[in-house]
Amino acid sequence: MAEDDETGVAAEAELKKGFETLEVVQPDPSVPVHYIYLNRPAQRNALTPAFFTELPRALALLDRLPSARAIVLAARGPHFCAGIDLSTLAATSAPRSADRAAASELLRRRILALQATISAVERCRKPVVAAIHGACIGGGLDLVAACDIRCCDEGAFFAVKEVDLALAADLGSLQRLPSIVGYGNAADMALTGRGVPAAEAKAMGLVTRVFPSRAAMEEGVAALARGLAEKSTVAMMGTKAVMLRSRDLTVDQGLEYVATWNSAMLMSRDLEEAVRAQLEKRKPNFSRL
């Protein structure tokens, strides 16, 4: 426990140093929920090279922080995210080289590095809830597709816009959306580049909750995140890990995987505490991770 406390203190110290493109806050110190805000509102939170460095760092620190049992990904300003900043596209473009193979390999590594940033959301052990308002376009959609739960207000809209920039989306939308909304809906979005309003996004399963206003969404997402934070971190981590792993497996393979996982995790203190709390009709006191 002392080692965990030291790790948490170190993570908190790192978070206090701040970020260029993000704001990380814990609104209520008594509630173990942290918010990551995209924080370039004047630029509609377009994703810069600095963002692709800072987001994995912020997630890694929160992953180590015992006081962060759930994470909300939100945004400052009138829009969630307008996609990739042009400076990022320029930095990622193919380098000039007499050796086309070497230039292509360098570009491939740059794209893989951007992809790793988006995948860091998915790989974070803590549940990540997206709170989306306004535009969620291109790279913004890549980002929320990697979250565990997605909520929005009635004014939100979503678009895979890369096709209009003569590109194939390469940060995860084409890979994650089919399993979220179905192949047909994903193809419709990716090939047309059209904006999908909140009601349609809810109908196709892109978001699970639509709120009548941004204020209502913020209140509802806060309540949702609090509920997640009250549950066993061991159980939340296991559920997320098993679901992500099972996504790429057959049903039989997924069952084998969860059997192996639970053969270790069923011995957790949290399971004993959950049973005891049920019998004693009280709230459980789960382990901090």
Q: What is the pLDDT of residues 49-97, one digit of tens each?
A: 999 999 999 999 999 999 999 999 999 999 999 999 877 776 666 566 6
pLDDT mean over 224-252: 92
* Tens digit of each residue's pLDDT (9 = 90 or more) over 169-185: 999 999 999 999 999 99
The share of the chain scoring above pLDDT 70, in percent, equals 92
Give yes or no: 142 in active site.
Answer: yes
Give yes or no: 205 in active site.
Answer: no
User: If pLDDT is split at 50, 70 and 90, which confidence band does 265 have?
Assistant: confident
- A 10 A CB-CB count for 55 gives 22
User: If pLDDT is split at 50, 70 and 90, which confidence band does 271 have?
Assistant: low
Write down the pLDDT at residue 4.
Answer: 57
* Tens digit of each residue's pLDDT (9 = 90 or more) over 10-52: 888 888 888 999 999 999 999 999 999 999 999 999 999 999 9
pLDDT mean over 192-213: 98
Catalytic residue among 4, 63, 154, 170: 170
Give yes or no: 170 in active site.
Answer: yes
Give yes or no: 230 in active site.
Answer: no
Catalytic residue among 36, 71, 84, 137: 84
Residue 247 dihedral angles phi and psi, to the nearest 5° = -55, -35
Catalytic residue among 162, 172, 218, 238: 162
Asked if residue 3 has pLDDT above 60, the reply is no
Give yes or no: 105 in active site.
Answer: no
CA distance 80 to 122: 19
Catalytic residue among 142, 148, 153, 270: 142
CA distance 87 to 93: 10
Write down the pLDDT at residue 121.
Answer: 97
Write down the pLDDT at residue 5.
Answer: 62
Q: Over the range 103-130, which residues count as b (16 or more CB within 10 Å of their CB) and which as e?
A: eeeeeeebeeebbebbbbbbebbbbbbb
- The most distant pair of C-alpha atoms in the chain lies apart, rounded to whole Å, by 73
> Is the full-model pTM beyond 0.85?
yes
Asked if residue 195 has pLDDT above 80, the reply is yes
Catalytic residue among 77, 83, 134, 139: 139
